[in-house]
């Protein structure tokens, strides 16, 4: 089946099966499947829409692409509702329906100092990006140390990792923007910094405020509830601060936005 050209991105709809569904920590799983067309076309920051046959849901669910090793793709998800509870029970060779890759991904260049800022499950999109850019610093925030996952993927590839937890159980106590702002303030060459953010909208806006204060450029991949995934339903609209349009759709115009828009 040929790909569909949508929003200047070629989408592929594929039936596939589960290759692996591995628990990383309690309630967090890595789901892998084979889809050569999507794997070869995917760029960091893009996402897929997934439907698993056993889930009693009319709509597909969006998931950031965590890792690509063509023809294999992996996503990471947290069990939070009926669909993800069903996903946690999936076994090898169980059927899946996939549409992707969807959305606009990150932009990056070789000559920059890369700073990743992840909140919770936002680490998934940044993991894919981390394979395409030079190692720098990862700032990772979570509620408690028990919700941290995936750090070994970064440390083994020479990324420096800074952690903050809300309860202080690991790393800095408080929001991840606290050590991030200190890092930017101490940086000798702010102009070379590029921030890449993924997590809740509140985190993205907080990092955007910090970036404006110190004149740092960057992008954020936003998380939002969405239904269709292609911009038709208007269900994932956010308000932006810059540009001719006051509102934009996360799936159609993003999910990656310049920080100055937030």
Give all strands (DSSP E) within 88-177, no chain letters: 95-102, 113-119, 137-142, 160-165, 172-173
Residue 71 corresponds to which tokens in the numbers above? 């023809």
Instruction: Give the angle subtended at the CA of 58 by the CAs of 104 and 91, to the nearest 5°.
Output: 85
Q: Are 93 and 17 in contact (CB under 8 A)?
A: yes
Parallel, antiparallel or unpaired: strands 9-25 and 4-6 = antiparallel
pTM score: 0.90
Q: Does domain 4-102 have CATH number 2.40.30.10?
A: yes
C-alpha 103/C-alpha 43 separation (Å) is: 9
Number of neighbouring beta carbons within 10 Å of residue 242: 11
> pLDDT tens, 160-187?
999 999 999 999 999 999 999 999 999 9
Is residue 120 a contact partner of residue 144, using CB atoms and an 8 Å limit?
no
- For 66-120, how does the pLDDT look when each residue is reduced to its tens digit (9 = 90+)? 999 999 999 999 999 889 999 999 999 999 999 999 999 999 988 789 999 999 9
Give ∠ CA 70-71-76 in degrees, rounded to 5: 80
- Strand, coil or helix: what is 26? coil
According to the model, what pLDDT value does residue 1 have? 43
Distance CA(161)–CA(147), nearest Å, equals 15
**209-253 pLDDT per residue, tens:** 999 999 999 999 987 665 565 655 666 777 777 667 777 777 678
Q: Where are the domains of the chain?
A: 4-102, 113-261
Architecture per CATH, domain 113-261, reads as 3-Layer(aba) Sandwich (3.40)
Phi, psi at residue 160, to the nearest 5°? Answer: -80, 135
Asked if the model's pLDDT at residue 4 lies above 90, the reply is: no
For the stretch 122-142, pLDDT in tens is 999 999 999 999 999 999 999
Q: Which one, of 18, 10, 60, lies nearest residue 35 by Cα?
A: 18
Mapping DSSP onto H, E and C, the string for 230-244 reads CCCCCCCEEECCCCC
Distances (CA, A) of 99 to 10, 68, 237: 10, 15, 21
Nearest Cα to Cα of residue 3 among 103, 106, 101, 105:
101
Helix, strand or coil, per DSSP, at residue 84: helix
The Cα–Cα gap between 240 and 129 comes to: 24
CA 59 to chain centre: 20
Return the DSSP state at 210.
H
């Amino acid at each position: 089946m040929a790909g569909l050209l949508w929003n200047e991105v070629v989408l592929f709809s594929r039936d596939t099966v589960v290759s692996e569904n591995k628990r990383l920590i309690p309630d967090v799983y890595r789901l892998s499947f084979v889809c050569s067309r999507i794997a070869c076309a995917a760029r960091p920051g893009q996402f897929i829409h997934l439907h698993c046959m056993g889930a009693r849901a009319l709509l597909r669910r969006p998931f950031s692409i965590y890792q690509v090793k063509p023809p294999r793709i992996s996503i990471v998800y947290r069990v939070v509702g009926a669909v993800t509870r069903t996903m946690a029970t999936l076994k090898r060779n169980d059927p899946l329906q996939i549409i992707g890759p969807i959305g606009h991904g990150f932009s990056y260049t070789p000559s920059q100092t890369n700073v990743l800022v992840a909140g919770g499950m936002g680490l998934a999109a940044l993991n894919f990006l981390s394979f395409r850019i030079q190692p720098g610093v990862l700032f990772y925030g979570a509620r408690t140390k028990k919700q941290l996952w995936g750090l070994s993927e970064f440390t083994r590839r020479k990324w420096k990792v800074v952690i903050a937890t809300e309860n202080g159980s690991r790393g800095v106590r408080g929001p991840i923007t606290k050590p991030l702002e200190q890092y930017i303030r101490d940086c000798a060459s702010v102009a070379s910094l590029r921030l890449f953010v993924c997590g809740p909208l509140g985190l993205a806006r907080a990092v955007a405020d910090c970036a404006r204060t110190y004149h740092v450029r960057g992008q954020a991949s936003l998380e939002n509830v969405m239904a269709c995934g292609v911009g038709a339903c208007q269900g994932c609209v956010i308000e932006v601060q810059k540009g001719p349009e006051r509102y934009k759709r996360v799936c159609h115009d993003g999910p990656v936005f310049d920080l100055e828009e937030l």
